[in-house]
Structure 1
Amino acid sequence: MTSMAADRVTIPAAGDYRIDPARTTVSFATRHLFGLAPVRGTFQLRDGHIQVTEPVADSSARAVIAASTFHTGLPARDTHVRGPAYLDAERHPAIVFASTGLEQVEGRWMLRGSLTVRDRTCPLDLRVEELTAGPTLTLRATTWVDRYAFGITAMKGMTGRRLTLTLSVTATRT
């Protein structure tokens, strides 16, 4: 293991790690009603893995989120967002993040990659806020997603364009 000062990050030993869906959360925050009201919710991770390599810059991660698990606690909204106007979860059941590498930018670790939503893939960088290694690997990362980039443009103005995502990941070495 290597300890890095940036962002409370400790690089774990090289190896393969399986992300534990039961101990991982994907939460989001956005706004609606012309930006006046906050909306918070979650998605469930279906599966994922992290491969830590030497050099660490070549490390990779892949995570699959079940689109049908969009949850804000308001059943009517949740059903509508899972439907054709937004996620179209029936036709596009998976939201997939696949990394292309890890690098340090201005003292912060960035996991570079792409996000695929509704069969549209766009670049996405995750800012690694915390990474600890021990018997398990724990990671907290944040990013924001522009839904328009994925062709999800329903209810412009009423529904927030950008979502802030926070991932809290727990993985075990395989």
Structure 2
Amino acid sequence: MDATGNTAATTPRLGRYTIDTDKSSISFKSRHLFGLLPVHGTFAIRGGTVEVAEPIFESSVQAEVDAASFRTGHAQRDAAVRSVTFLDTDRHPLITFASDRVDTTTVSGTLTTCGRSRPASLSIVHSEVLADAFTVRATTRVDRTAFGVTAARGMAGRHLDLTLEIRCVRI
């Protein structure tokens, strides 16, 4: 209930939404140097859409991430990760996600990175619904080796723990 005694909406209004790239972010945590040191960074969302349907499991999510936007604040590491050794962003400029199942706690679908597609599941940990917009925070863990990114075993962390903060605005 809100301050006026009204029950707040728990799902967005039906319809099509666009991802507000200026108010959305993807951050990650990993480890390097044989798991001894933490690494934090970000990716930029290029765009995407969300179709909210009834029933909710008929909803869909499409998103594109700019692979070359990988940033950790360490220029040499960032350039190496964007290179052919890891993400090969010249050949694979986009990381994409397309849902195949949506419910109130999970968005499952296909994540494509470096030309390889694998199942991925995002756990919704927070949502806020407004009249013509909504924000969702979701988390997931990605195993980079499942996408063929296998360089620097031991030196570079195998898993990235992602947190997505996505703001969607009704079209």
Alignment TM-score, normalising by the size of structure 1 = 0.91
Moved over 6 A (4+): none
Partner of 2:87: 87
User: How many Å separate the matches in 2 of 1:18 and 1:137?
Assistant: 10
Aligned match for 1:123, one of 109, 113, 119: 119
Consecutive unaligned residues in structure 1, runs of 5 or more:
1-8
What letter corresponds to residue 120 of structure 2 in structure 1? L
Partner of 1:145: 142
The structure in which a higher percent of residues are strand is 1
What letter corresponds to residue 106 of structure 2 in structure 1? M
Q: Deviations over 1:66-85 (max 9, x none)?
A: 00000000000000000001
Contact 2:100 2:109 in 1 (8 A): yes
Partner of 1:154: 151
User: How many Å separate the matches in 2 of 1:123 and 1:103?
Assistant: 16
Partner of 2:27: 27
Q: Based on CA coordinates, which of the two structures has the bigger radius of gyration?
A: 2
Indicate the larger mover: 118-127 or 134-143. Answer: 134-143
User: How many Å separate the matches in 2 of 1:42 and 1:87?
Assistant: 14
Percent identity over the alignment is 44
Partner of 1:56: 56
Consecutive unaligned residues in structure 2, runs of 5 or more:
1-8
User: How many Å separate the matches in 2 of 1:148 and 1:33?
Assistant: 17
Q: Deviations over 1:36-73 (max 9, x none)?
A: 00000000000111111000011110110000000000
Aligned match for 2:161, one of 159, 164, 168: 164
Indicate the larger mover: 38-47 or 128-137. Answer: 128-137
